[in-house]
Amino acid sequence: MNAADSSKEQIDALKNEFRSETVRITSPGLEEILYKPIPVLDHGFIRVVDYMGTDASIVQAARVSYGAGTKKVQEDRGLINYLMRHSHTTPFEMCEIKLHLKMPMFVARQWVRHRTASMNEYSARYSVLSADFYIPKNSQLSKQSKNNKQGKSDDKLDEASSKEILEILKNSSRDAYEKYLHMIDDLSLARELARTVLPVSVYTEMYWKMDLHNLLHFLKLREDSHAQYEIREYAKVILDIVKRWTPIVYDAFVNYRKDAVVLSKTRAGLLKRMLKGEKITQENSGLSKGEWFEFATAFDIKD
């Protein structure tokens, strides 16, 4: 039995033991997927374990200063849009979500940089790790970018190189795990040291709890096209969970944060000059080549 099956059995047992009606506000969209693992990558998953609040909770918190409760949906949408547009963040902190995550170790190391969460990770000091290792798809094998030191380029590897790389990854993972078990079972080495032979492609698990405000910040960074493919796949699933959980917040986030274009004072000035008919190029814009590229891409400007 793997960890996901074991966790499901424990959750089912708890549901049966403590099943009861609730008078607290619930999200129909999240109730449909509660406790159900959503597959990510080859062996990973995301499972919603618990949550608190909905769109209405945010509206209620924002209006508490003058005692008004929730109003019509359209008025609630207008208020949430206003809060998102003007970065009034504390009402979004009224909502929280707890996720059960399974991901490759190297993804987890990126994940924990978001220090505004509460988390507890599976301990390889106390338990033996499973034999699950991340093996990327052939389509994800690309050359190192020459311009971006922490990313890959669009240049795909040839078929022979890709095949060799996948074989190396599969064989090295299998060999490392065999040595890991050998040191534990046959040589009696402590698990906390035996684990050091395992590569960062091994899967780990954690419980991760975060409020909605900080979750949206996580999604802004990790669902972005510049984020590493593997963590972006998890972020896409979480973004869909947010859509189910707080659909009005989701729409506001996509409109004002995720797909929005932020203009500096300089760029706003350039845009005003262009609207007046002035010809603006990188040379007379005062922007560096990198800044100009971002500006021109955002507004489809052709030199």
Query: What CA–CA distance (Å, rounded) separates 127 from 203?
Result: 13
Tell whether 93 and 15 lie within a shared domain.
Answer: yes
Number of domains, the chain: 3
Same domain as 227, residue 276: no
122 and 241 co-located in one domain: yes
Measured CA to CA, the distance from residue 258 to residue 58 in angstroms comes to 19
pLDDT tens for residues 194-208? 999 999 999 999 999
pLDDT at res. 95 = 97
81, 224: one domain: yes
Residues 58 and 37 in one domain: yes
* Lowest-confidence segment of 10-19, 54-63, 87-96, 281-290 by average pLDDT: 10-19
Residues 117 and 81 in one domain: yes
pLDDT grade, residue 22 (50/70/90)?
confident
Predicted local confidence at residue 7, as pLDDT: 62
Do 107 and 241 lie in a common domain?
yes
Global pTM? 0.88
Q: What is the pLDDT of residues 255-279, one digit of tens each?
A: 999 999 888 999 999 999 999 989 9
Average pLDDT over residues 205-234: 96
Are 152 and 33 part of one and the same domain? no
What per-residue confidence (pLDDT) applies to 252? 96
Q: pLDDT over 70 for what percent of the chain?
A: 89
pLDDT at position 19 over 90:
no
**Residue 139 belongs to some domain of the structure:** yes
Question: CA-CA distances (angstroms) from residue 33 to 10, 92, 205?
Answer: 17, 22, 19
Instruction: State which residues form the domain around 8.
Output: 3-129+203-258
Model confidence at 162: pLDDT above 80: yes
Per-residue pLDDT band for 300 (boundaries 50, 70, 90) equals: confident
125 domain residue, yes or no: yes
180 contact partners, CB below 8 Å, separation of at least 6:
129, 194, 195, 197, 198
d(CA 248, CA 78): 9
CB 83 within 8 A of CB 181: no
Q: Are both 79 and 118 inside the same structural domain? A: yes
**Residue 303 domain-assigned?**
no
SS (H, E, C) 123-188: CCCCCCCCCCECCCCHHHCEEECCCCCCCEEEEECCHHHHHHHHHHHHHHHHHHHHHHHHHHHHCC
- Tell me what pLDDT residue 2 has: 55
Residues 279 and 227 in one domain: no
- Residues 148, 8 share a domain: no
User: Quick check: is 240 in a domain?
Assistant: yes
Residue 71 pLDDT > 80 = no
11: confidence class by pLDDT, cuts 50, 70, 90: low
What are the catalytic residues?
A: 222
pLDDT of residue 144: 84
Residue 20: pLDDT band with limits 50, 70, 90: low
In a domain, 30, yes or no: yes
Do 123 and 31 belong to one domain? Answer: yes
> Span 34-58, mean pLDDT?
95
Mind listing the pLDDT tens digit for each residue in 105-161? 999 999 999 999 999 999 999 999 999 999 999 888 888 877 766 777 778 888 999
Query: Cα separation of 84 and 216, whole Å?
Result: 11
- Please check whether residue 53 lies inside any domain of the structure: yes
